[in-house]
């Protein structure tokens, strides 16, 4: 049967039988419609790169509406008859750009650009759904589902908030105005149209060759007809609405009957009872629709509590997920998975809502939620929900959800409470519900009974209630969930918060120090300030221009490796992973996979023509001292180590088939030690097998004789792994070509990829050409780690002589590839009362993984003194620790982040022990005449450091359950050059335009923008005449990898040299003819046969090393009862010399700082220490910061009047240094934590800093116990 779907105004006829039954809209858009602006990443609705909009007629109201969805979760068959809009449909170079695209680009809201189309479409969907009228708060609240690793969000939010009705954000004059957003724009023509959406014609059903079927019932009778038929045939059934459950629990591959319930008006409505005693909600209402209904009715007597219901629903997932996910779907997850911490369930259960379960047109039953969970639902549906009225004068209701970040995360613990009070203000009924405790626990029944007939605010009752509740709550221990101890304390804290809030509302005499404990942290709309100087005489260099590729990134025209058009003969590959560490794979049985139609081959090490070695032919000791296999052949070194690949016709099929390959093992490790802590705790720091003493101090012991010190102490620092979280997955497309191989790799280091592929295929280097247009973020994670996918794809393409595309899933990337090295430090310090350091002993340990090929210990040692003056009494020893884990790899500021953190932590600890101001201790130890000694006093003055510190101390004394902290960090970051970077500049005689090809990789750092500025400045032409072409291994032959923040400067240097060569060739023509314009000059040069192509390079030694200084002051506000916090303000000053482009450099600083903020607060890698499995390998479990985790007030200043005598054109690098300043947030949290501990009566002691300092960490170190919970 042929159906249709409209995308960007173009109608596509779809032969469903030729497609998989569960094909996603994302796959169809990209591979069938060829619209690659919609990106591909997590495949579970957690990243936002795939957002597009749907437009259709609401089945219940008949209104035309538009809503944003995650196309990776949305199933194609649910979109038939709808209109789909992608970023290409909004605007492009040919027809002009949409205002959203223009503002995001021109307001510096893009870097790598991989997330940009999703951000554009999320905003478009928001504006369309709201009739074009939104507030800044609504905008800022709507981007929880769009992850951006590059920018730090501030410029994105500025651009998007500029569309708000209450916005005062300045918009660049050249940006198009936006009008008629409430009226549908035809994406095909750009003209306004009158809304031509038509009611969909009946779609019937579709049967597939594998026996699966799709049905699109138009009525309840049709629904039950197909449902009962499937049950009778014993077919696994899925009722399809938004398919958002797939983002939590993967959809079964065994489903045979898909029933789309989206067109059923009976499941979409809502009805308020005539006497307003109840509200009925349709089961298939989306969460967004439910929120809208709650807003409409929240002022209705008895339903005032709906104000809290919609706010709680707003904490669920993100906007596109809420647009698609339904009430019934959410409860269906809870039914199938009792451990699921459903927010819908916990709120409805506290409200004693009833579920309407229907099993035929004529038969339905209204049951409690508890009964529903025990009801077999085969052949039944959730028709709707009934919510009672609870007049606010008699009922008290509130609900809570505590998460590891502000948005788009499931709860540590959620809770909802409902108390009914009689005329004497005593409890008549109570419903106290918690989620996230264990699968069986919902009601704190004993506490509900305890409160009956009592005033809930009596101190004696409160004390007794929490004594019982802390015993009653028995959270289960399930990794990677937070610990039972934290979840118990958190649950008690939430009920206490409820009592404080309601007692305050009812004027029950809550003590002023306790009052703030009753409220959650309230985050205002964020803002930012940026201060910098430019030098007009050097324009366009130093000018704050927009990014070179900004507009095409926002329109989706900018292509990445996976955006290459699919060739008819192309195959897809996916890794087969081993699961038993220390064992040897004795047998591989691929037959279950090969039996699936469309699976082509299983390949492993036997199919590699050359060595099974993931390294270059000529070994380089810094990176490749030890052998690393592509496919494991001997002992399995870590959980999920690849042993081979499956090659199939589609990506989805390859992924599924890879999981069906059966592996047999022999032996296994007696004890798996997958983490740094495991080795240090179980084996000890002296293990010669596991620990290598890599850096040795020149001192055997400290010589303190004759040195005066007043105090000595010791401490530790623990820093965890961090995933790079590049938005573009590891991607390679390998294409056999004329006896060689063309390989499109998402790599930071083309030369290495070329070398590895040539080596393993036994080809000459000139027979392998690597091409990289751009990559969607790297941060070091695509320098060497990209080559596992590149090598595997090349092996398959070579063996099968067909193009092969390998796009690693997020789970595979996070399980098989290394991350930032975990770090542990033990230290001792000897100081004077003033905080002046007399001596330091430090032993640090770094987690290499199972190999140490990419150790960055040298970087850590180089910066470990920061900008401080030490005597010779500085003993530093560094150790590499081998763990049963993937080989770890450089990650933004490798070694430098850890080295600076190590000494800054010691300085902060010294201030704590001596009782000195941390700023004073730092200043007392700064090297004489150091630039920091000049920068620091002015920075402290401009940020009002002393006043704010005093205000915070006073605030903390006045508040028991809300604390603030102020953290200072300073940095001297060492910059040095390495390798060589070639570039070619060519001038076209026909119009004088210029093209540049170089050996660097644009990954969001603005390299191409700066190169364009330098070329334009050097040749004296407008930037618009300069184009940067894709990087490849011809003009970019032998180039060093792009990393270490040196790529942009090095290539700017190379192109300036090439331009100087061109200018010298053109000089004679200029002198002789004095041409009136550039075009005349180039025409004449061409006529004289002057070579208009020049190549040159930057090599190590061409520019001198230098350092980057910076300071950061961070203020936090911390909820002692939950562990949640706000970053209220950040001031950051960095010496960037004379910035080549302040827009680009501020973007790099903000992005680096936010990546560090995630490192210190939310990004937690959890590993099963029994098996070695990474348990946080998805967006569901790994949480980088989101849009509402950024500082509320972010102030960035580039140090003025500070030209760099070294480096390029007086500038400095900005890509990495600022991440080292993010430790300031940890120091701010330490100050807040110490105040809480002091109030709790905990003995004064320094809290060992941990990365990340999660809400769990903070609560467990705050010293809070339920016995401390009082109302006055």
Binding site members for FAD: 401
Q: Which of 779, 666, 608, 633 is nearest to 1163 (CA)?
A: 779
Q: How far apart are CA 85 and CA 88, in angstroms?
A: 8
Provide the annotated binding site for [2Fe-2S] cluster: 42, 47, 50, 72, 112, 115, 148, 150
Q: Which of 525, 461, 399 is nearest to 134 (CA)?
A: 525
Contact 802, 737 (CB under 8 A): no
44, 102, 1163, 1216: which is the annotated catalytic residue? 1216
Token code pair at residue 1069: 């023509």
Token code pair at residue 1083: 């025409």
Q: Which of 888, 884, 972 is nearest to 720 (CA)?
A: 888
Residues in contact with 272: Cβ distance below 8 Å, sequence separation at least 6, in sequence order:
278, 279, 297, 300, 303
Q: How far apart are CA 727 and CA 1249, in angstroms?
A: 29
Q: For every residue of 70-101, which 3-state class applies, written as one string?
A: ECCCCEHHHCCCCEEECHHHHCECCCECCHHH
Look up 1216 and say whether it is catalytic.
yes
Q: How far apart are CA 1199 and CA 1139, in angstroms?
A: 10
**E-state strands within 751-873:** 768-772, 804-807, 823-831, 837-849
Q: Which of 1223, 573, 597, 637 is nearest to 893 (CA)?
A: 1223
Q: Which of 1200, 1218, 1257 is nearest to 969 (CA)?
A: 1218
Length of the chain equals 1272
**E-state strands within 333-470:** 354-360, 363-368, 381-388, 395-402, 413-421, 427-435
Omega into 540 within 30° of 0, i.e. cis? yes
C-alpha distances in Å from residue 71, one per residue of 48, 49, 675: 9, 9, 36
Contact 582, 143 (CB under 8 A): no
**Max alpha carbon distance in the chain (Å)?**
103
Contact 80, 200 (CB under 8 A): yes
Q: Which of 123, 98, 102, 110 is nearest to 48 (CA)?
A: 123
Q: How far apart are CA 65 and CA 54, in angstroms?
A: 8
Beta strands 823-831 and 837-849: pairing type? antiparallel
C-alpha distances in Å from residue 518, one per residue of 154, 343, 1062: 30, 20, 70
Map tokens 């709790």 to a residue: 1240
Q: How far apart are CA 270 and CA 770, in angstroms?
A: 58
Residues in contact with 698: Cβ distance below 8 Å, sequence separation at least 6, in sequence order:
none
Buried b or exposed e, range 967-997, using 16+ CB within 10 angstroms: bbbbbbbbbebebbbbbbbbbeeeebbbbbb
Rg over alpha carbons for the chain, rounded to the nearest Å, is 31
Contact 642, 661 (CB under 8 A): no
Q: How is residue 769 annotated by DSSP?
A: E
Contact 1206, 1225 (CB under 8 A): no
Contact 127, 160 (CB under 8 A): no
Provide the annotated binding site: 42, 47, 50, 72, 112, 115, 148, 150, 401, 748, 892, 1044
Map tokens 């090490």 to a residue: 605
Query: Which sequence positions are flagged as catalytic?
Result: 1216
């Amino acid at each position: 049967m042929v159906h249709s779907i409209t995308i960007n105004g173009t109608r596509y006829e779809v032969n469903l039988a030729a497609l998989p039954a569960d094909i996603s809209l994302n796959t169809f858009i990209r591979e069938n419609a060829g619209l690659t602006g919609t990106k591909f990443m997590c495949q579970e609705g957690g990243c936002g790169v795939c957002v597009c909009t749907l437009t259709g007629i609401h089945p219940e109201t008949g209104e035309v509406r538009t809503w944003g969805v995650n196309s990776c979760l949305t199933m194609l068959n649910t979109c038939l008859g709808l209109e789909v809009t992608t970023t290409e449909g909004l605007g492009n170079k040919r027809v002009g750009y949409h205002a959203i695209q223009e503002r995001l680009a021109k307001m510096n809201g893009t870097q790598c650009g991989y997330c940009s189309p999703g951000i554009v479409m999320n905003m478009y969907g928001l504006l369309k759904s709201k009739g074009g009228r939104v507030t800044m708060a609504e905008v800022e609240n709507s981007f929880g589902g769009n992850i951006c690793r590059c920018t730090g969000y501030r410029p994105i939010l500025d651009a998007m908030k500029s569309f708000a009705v209450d916005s005062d954000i300045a918009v660049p004059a050249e940006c198009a105005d936006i009008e008629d957003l409430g009226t549908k724009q035809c994406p095909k023509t750009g003209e306004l149209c009158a809304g031509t959406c038509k009611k969909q014609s009946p779609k019937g059903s579709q049967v597939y060759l594998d026996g699966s079927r799709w049905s699109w019932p138009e009525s309840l009778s049709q629904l039950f007809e197909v449902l009962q038929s499937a049950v009778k045939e014993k077919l696994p059934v899925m009722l399809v609405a938004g398919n958002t459950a797939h983002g939590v629990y993967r959809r079964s591959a065994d489903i045979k009957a898909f029933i789309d319930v989206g067109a059923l008006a009976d499941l979409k409505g809502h009805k308020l009872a005539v006497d307003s005693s109840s509200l009925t909600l349709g089961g298939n209402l989306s969460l967004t629709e439910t929120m809208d209904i709650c807003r409409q009715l929240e002022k209705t007597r008895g339903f005032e509590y709906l104000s809290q219901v919609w706010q709680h629903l707003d904490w669920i997932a993100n906007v596109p997920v809420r647009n698609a996910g339904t009430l019934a779907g959410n409860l269906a997850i809870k039914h199938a998975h009792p451990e699921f911490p459903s927010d819908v369930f916990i709120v409805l259960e506290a409200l004693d809502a009833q579920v309407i379960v229907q099993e035929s047109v004529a038969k339905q039953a209204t049951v409690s939620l508890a009964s529903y969970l025990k009801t077999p639902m085969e052949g039944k549906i959730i028709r709707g929900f009934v919510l009672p009225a609870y007049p606010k004068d008699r009922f008290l209701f509130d609900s809570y959800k505590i998460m590891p970040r502000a948005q788009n995360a499931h709860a540590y613990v959620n809770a909802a409470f409902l108390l009914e009070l009689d005329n004497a203000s005593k409890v008549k009924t109570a419903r106290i519900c918690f989620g996230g405790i264990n699968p069986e626990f919902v009601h704190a029944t004993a506490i509900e009974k305890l409160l009956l007939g009592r005033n809930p605010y009596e101190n004696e009752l409160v004390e007794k209630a929490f004594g019982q509740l802390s015993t009653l709550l028995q959270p289960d221990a399930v990794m990677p969930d937070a610990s039972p101890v934290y979840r118990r304390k958190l649950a008690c804290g939430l009920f206490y918060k409820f009592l404080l809030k309601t007692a305050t509302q009812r004027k029950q005499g809550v003590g002023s120090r306790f009052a703030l404990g009753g409220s959650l942290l309230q985050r205002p709309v964020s803002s930012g300030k940026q201060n910098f100087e430019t030098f007009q005489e050097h324009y366009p260099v130093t000018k704050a221009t927009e990014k070179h590729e900004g507009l095409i990134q926002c329109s989706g025209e900018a292509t990445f490796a996976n955006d290459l058009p699919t060739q008819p003969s192309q195959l897809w590959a996916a890794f087969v992973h081993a699961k038993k560490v220390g064992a040897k794979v004795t047998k591989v049985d691929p037959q279950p996979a090969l039996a699936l139609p469309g699976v082509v081959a299983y390949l492993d090490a036997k199919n590699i023509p050359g060595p099974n070695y993931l390294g270059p032919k000529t070994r380089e000791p810094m990176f490749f001292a030890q052998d690393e296999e592509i496919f494991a052949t001997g002992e399995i070194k870590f959980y999920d180590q690849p042993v081979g690949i499956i090659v199939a016709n589609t990506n989805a099929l390859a992924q599924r088939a890879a999981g069906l390959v059966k592996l047999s093992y022999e032996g296994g490790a007696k004890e798996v030690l997958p983490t740094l802590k495991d080795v240090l705790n179980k084996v000890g720091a002296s293990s010669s097998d596991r620990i290598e003493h890599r850096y040795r101090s020149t001192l055997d012991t400290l010589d303190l004789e004759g040195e005066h010190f007043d105090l000595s102490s010791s401490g530790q620092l623990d820093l965890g792994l961090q995933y790079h979280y590049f938005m573009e997955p590891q991607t390679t497309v390998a294409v056999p070509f004329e006896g060689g191989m063309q390989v499109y790799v998402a790599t930071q280091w083309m030369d290495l990829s070329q070398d590895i592929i040539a080596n393993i295929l036994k080809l000459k280097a000139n027979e392998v050409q690597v091409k990289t247009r751009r990559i969607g973020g790297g941060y070091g994670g695509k320098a060497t780690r990209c080559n596992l996918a590149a090598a595997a794809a090349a092996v398959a393409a070579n063996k099968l002589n067909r193009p092969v595309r390998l796009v690693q899933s997020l789970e595979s990337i996070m399980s098989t590839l290394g991350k930032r090295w975990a770090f542990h430090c033990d230290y001792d310090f000897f100081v004077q009362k003033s905080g002046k350091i007399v001596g330091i002993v430090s032993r640090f340990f770094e987690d290499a993984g199972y190999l140490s090929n990419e150790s960055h210990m040298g970087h850590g040692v180089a910066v470990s003194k920061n900008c401080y003056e030490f005597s010779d009494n500085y003993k530093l020893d560094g150790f590499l620790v081998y763990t049963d884990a993937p080989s770890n790899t450089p990650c933004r500021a490798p070694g430098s982040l850890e080295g600076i953190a190590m000494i800054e932590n010691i300085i902060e600890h010294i201030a704590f022990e001596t009782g000195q101001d941390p700023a004073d201790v730092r200043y007392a130890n700064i090297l004489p005449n150091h630039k920091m000694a000049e920068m620091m006093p002015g920075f402290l003055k401009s940020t009002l450091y002393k006043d704010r510190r005093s205000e915070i101390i006073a605030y903390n004394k006045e508040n028991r359950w809300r604390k603030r902290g102020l953290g200072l960090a300073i940095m001297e970051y060492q910059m040095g050059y390495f390798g060589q970077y070639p570039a070619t500049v060519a001038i076209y005689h026909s119009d004088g335009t210029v093209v540049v090809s170089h050996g660097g990789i644009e990954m969001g750092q603005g390299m191409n923008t700066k190169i364009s500025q330098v070329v334009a400045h050097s040749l004296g032409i407008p930037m618009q005449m300069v184009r940067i072409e894709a990087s490849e291994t011809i003009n970019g032959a032998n180039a060093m990898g792009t990393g270490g923040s040196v790529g942009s400067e090095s290539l700017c240097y190379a192109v300036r040299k090439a331009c100087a060569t061109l200018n010298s060739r053109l000089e004679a023509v200029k002198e002789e003819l004095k041409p009136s314009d550039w075009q005349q000059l180039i025409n004449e040069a061409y006529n004289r046969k002057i070579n208009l192509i020049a190549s040159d390079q930057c090599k190590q030694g061409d520019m001198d090393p230098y350092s980057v200084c910076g300071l950061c002051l961070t203020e936090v506000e911390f909820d002692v009862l939950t562990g949640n916090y706000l970053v209220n303000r950040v001031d950051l000053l960095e010496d960037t010399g004379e910035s080549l482009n302040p827009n680009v450099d501020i973007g790099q600083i903000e992005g680096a700082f936010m990546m560090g903020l995630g490192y210190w607060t939310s990004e937690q890698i959890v590993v099963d220490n029994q098996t070695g499995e990474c348990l946080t390998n998805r967006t569901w479990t790994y949480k980088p910061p989101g849009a509402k985790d950024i500082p509320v007030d972010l102030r960035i200043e580039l140090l003025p009047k500070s030209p760099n005598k070294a480096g390029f054109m007086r500038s400095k690098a900005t890509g990495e240094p600022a991440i080292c300043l993010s430790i300031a947030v940890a120091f701010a949290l330490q100050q807040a934590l110490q105040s809480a501990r002091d109030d709790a009566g905990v003995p004064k002691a320094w809290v060992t800093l941990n990365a990340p300092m999660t809400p769990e960490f903070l609560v467990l170190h705050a010293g809070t116990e339920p016995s401390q919970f009082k109302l006055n």
